[in-house]
Structure 1
Amino acid sequence: MLIQNKTPNPLKGWQVQRENIRYLGQDLQRPECILTEPNGTVWSADARGGMMQLNPDGSQELIAPFFEQVADSANSYENRYIQAKGSLPNGVCFDQTGDFIIANWGTNHLERMTREGKMSTLLTEIDGIPLGKTNFPLRDSKGRIWFTVTTRTEPWSDQINTRATDGYIALIDDQGVRIVADGFCGTNEIRFDDNEEWLYVVESTGWCISRLRVHADGSLSNREVYGPSRLSGFPDGFAFDTYGNLWITLIFTDQLIALTPDGEELMLLDDSTPSTRQRLIEAYGQRKVTPEILGATQGSICPWMASLSFGGKDLKTVYLGSLRGTRIPYFESPVAGQKMIHWKS
């Protein structure tokens, strides 16, 4: 597990102060997932299909995706570059070479993109069945790629009310690709503890966090709910800090909470509007959530807050990702974040 100690929890009695929030980037489009690097570079997924590189000097550059194809022209072959179509990067991680593994919400594919933008498709199906709504990839210390699929329901938005438990976790290793756990209600982000003994899973439409024990062969067992059986909203992204607190974004109501190691839920930032939040909670309880209800429910700091990532030289800077924002809010934490695998290697 993460670092455990008997010192006071640094998040007890602490909250994000709005006047201390700063912003990174401009004119971003759907910066849903944020990756940070030790050199200070910040990356965000971008709805134009690629990745936005945000440099320490304040400059930014969109790495637009393209596919390289070989075309038959007059009985000869030539390299041809075409722009990727229908791409909507959602969750992103680095592979062992530093390129991007992308769960593409637009194409329902799992893809790889180089830092120059060259895109290739890794997966479109498992056992002959289309993947479904690919959501989030994660690399472990063995170089294996784990990824989630939120639902196979069509349209995917119906799952918010049906609560179909058709989400799953799949694994790519030297044996190929396989589903290692299923039956989740809106599978979203996944994270390991420091020793990769447990895999933690966001169940967005189930309003809870689950975890499963990880075995050497990639199998998972002992599934259990971690923390409260029902959180106070739709969890989306999450990350551990070094004390063992699990920070969680609640999308739509735009709240940032944390679960302490003993299961207490702390409110760190509340950017919700009470009236629209209550309307959404009631609709969720009645299984009558509509696009109009969702669309009216958002805050102003990080609209449709979807993820968080620790960065900065001491891993105490928290960056927030969103679906509706055009820049990335960030602030300083009293405790450092867990090192992601690309910070360790």
Structure 2
Amino acid sequence: MLDEMEKRVGLEDLDFLGHGLSRPESVLATRSGDVFVSHKSRGVVRICPDGTQYYLAGHTEHDGIPIVPNGIALRPDGSFLIANISDAGGLLKLDRTGVSLFHSCAAEGTPPPVNYVCLDPFGRVWFTVSSSFSPRSLAYRRNVMNGYVGMIEDGEMRIVLDDLHYTNEICLDFERGWLYVAETFAQKVSRVPLSRDGIAGEKEDFVQLPKGAFVDGIELDGEGGLLASCIVSNELFRISPEGMFSVVISERDADWVSEVEKALDDGVMGRPHFDTVPTRTLRNISSCAFFGDRLDKLVCGNLLGAQLPVLPAPVGGRLPVHWHVDVPLWGEPF
């Protein structure tokens, strides 16, 4: 349901962070003021508070295919986990020695492309797989529901939630007892009860977003709500704990949205609908992270830009589990 009290940020109010980024889909920030962002074939880029940037890995292949980092997570020891969404799949580890396989994430057979990864306060690793189809574009449909959420604990992997409609990012809210799931091609956020031990109930729909809003990234705020980053429509929504949503910023192109929606209706949606966008400022925003001393700013990942949009947060953020991690300085400056 749409919240009538919308508080929008204008495109003219945006700042930008970084330069020369390639597919900077996922972002995270720490108390040091550093921003870390996924970078195609090179794992992660570090953007320091003074604007200097470092590649944290060289050009890297996994199983003979250049890596395509999607989600990234920061571990307590300062290393990273990378959800590799290339056809080689798997969950990768990145530290100052390079990139290695952390876990195949395969339920059986071939390692799947992994969409997202995060850590919980108890040391467990959670990840998502959007679809078991290969290529994944076969799942760009209204009637395909074969995505899942997995968890790795003590080196053992298990699927904890399945039959999802193209699983993208998840949010773990142990304080209020919910696991939130972005289901991209259903254009909705769903949720399932969550306890210290894991999934604790049945999945339910939480909020249905408008046509064209293909929700990709979700982030918890300090009031128990969510920020939802949507590709295609190029919109960022704030969703209240009660499921009311309002537009934070938008660069919706009505003609483009109609074209993509028609392709979805006709069952012909494919990579070109995500690999291009007519907008000039928001280039398929795909995620966001709170940063700043007061967690009062947002930095947004995106699929097609070379920089990261930065805007005031509609409400303050909550401390992520990695906020106090100090990452040693390494990498190749650029």
Does the TM-score normalized on the shorter chain lie above 0.5? Answer: yes
1:1-345 aligned at under 5 Å gives the runs: 12-65=5-58, 85-106=65-86, 107-114=88-95, 116-161=96-141, 163-174=143-154, 176-195=156-175, 197-228=177-208, 232-343=212-323
CA contact (8 A) 2:149 2:162 kept: yes
Q: Give, as a single letter, the amino acid of the residue that structure 2 aligns with 1:282.
A: K
TM-score, normalised with respect to structure 1: 0.86
Query: How many equivalent residue pairs?
Result: 321
1:289-318, Cα deviation, whole Å (9 max, x unpaired): 244444554422221111111111111110
Q: Give, as a single letter, the amino acid of the residue that structure 1 aligns with 2:48.
A: N
CA 1:126 to 1:100, structure 2 compared with 1: closer, same or farther past 3 Å? same
Q: CA RMSD in A?
A: 2.4
CA displacement at 1:344 relative to structure 2: 6.1
CA 1:184 to 1:252, structure 2 compared with 1: closer, same or farther past 3 Å? same
CA contact (8 A) 1:110 1:123 kept: yes
Report the more deviating stretch, 294-303 or 194-203. 294-303
Q: Give the 3-state SS of the residue equivalent to 1:170 in structure 2.
A: strand
Identity %: 26
CA displacement at 1:215 relative to structure 2: 3.4
Report the more deviating stretch, 317-326 or 153-162. 153-162
Tell me what 1:75 maps to: none
Tell me what 2:329 maps to: none
CA displacement at 1:198 relative to structure 2: 1.4
Q: Give the 3-state SS of the residue equivalent to 1:341 in structure 2.
A: coil
Quick one: distance in 2 between partners of 1:341 and 1:174?
A: 19
Tell me what 1:77 maps to: none
CA 1:344 to 1:210, structure 2 compared with 1: closer, same or farther past 3 Å? farther
Q: Give, as a single letter, the amino acid of the residue that structure 1 aligns with 2:185.
A: T
CA 1:97 to 1:84, structure 2 compared with 1: closer, same or farther past 3 Å? farther
Report the more deviating stretch, 40-49 or 206-215. 206-215
Q: Give, as a single letter, the amino acid of the residue that structure 2 aligns with 1:123.
A: H
Report the more deviating stretch, 202-211 or 116-125. 116-125
1:254-280, Cα deviation, whole Å (9 max, x unpaired): 111122222222112111211111221
Q: Give the 3-state SS of the residue equivalent to 1:276 in structure 2.
A: helix
CA contact (8 A) 2:211 2:261 kept: no
Q: Give the 3-state SS of the residue equivalent to 1:161 in structure 2.
A: coil
Q: Give, as a single letter, the amino acid of the residue that structure 2 aligns with 1:63.
A: L
CA contact (8 A) 2:215 2:228 kept: yes
Tell me what 1:76 maps to: none
Report the more deviating stretch, 148-157 or 225-234. 225-234
Quick one: distance in 2 between partners of 1:206 and 1:221?
A: 21
Quick one: distance in 2 between partners of 1:66 and 1:121?
A: 16
CA contact (8 A) 1:148 1:189 kept: yes
Q: Give, as a single letter, the amino acid of the residue that structure 1 aligns with 2:29.
A: T
1:120-175, Cα deviation, whole Å (9 max, x unpaired): 20222434322422011111110000100011111111110264211111111126
1:6-40, Cα deviation, whole Å (9 max, x unpaired): xxx9x933111222211111111110000101010
CA contact (8 A) 1:302 1:328 kept: no
Report the more deviating stretch, 295-304 or 40-49. 295-304
CA 1:173 to 1:22, structure 2 compared with 1: closer, same or farther past 3 Å? same
CA contact (8 A) 2:275 2:304 kept: no
**CA radius of gyration, larger in:** 1
Higher relative contact order (CA 8 A, sep 6+): 2
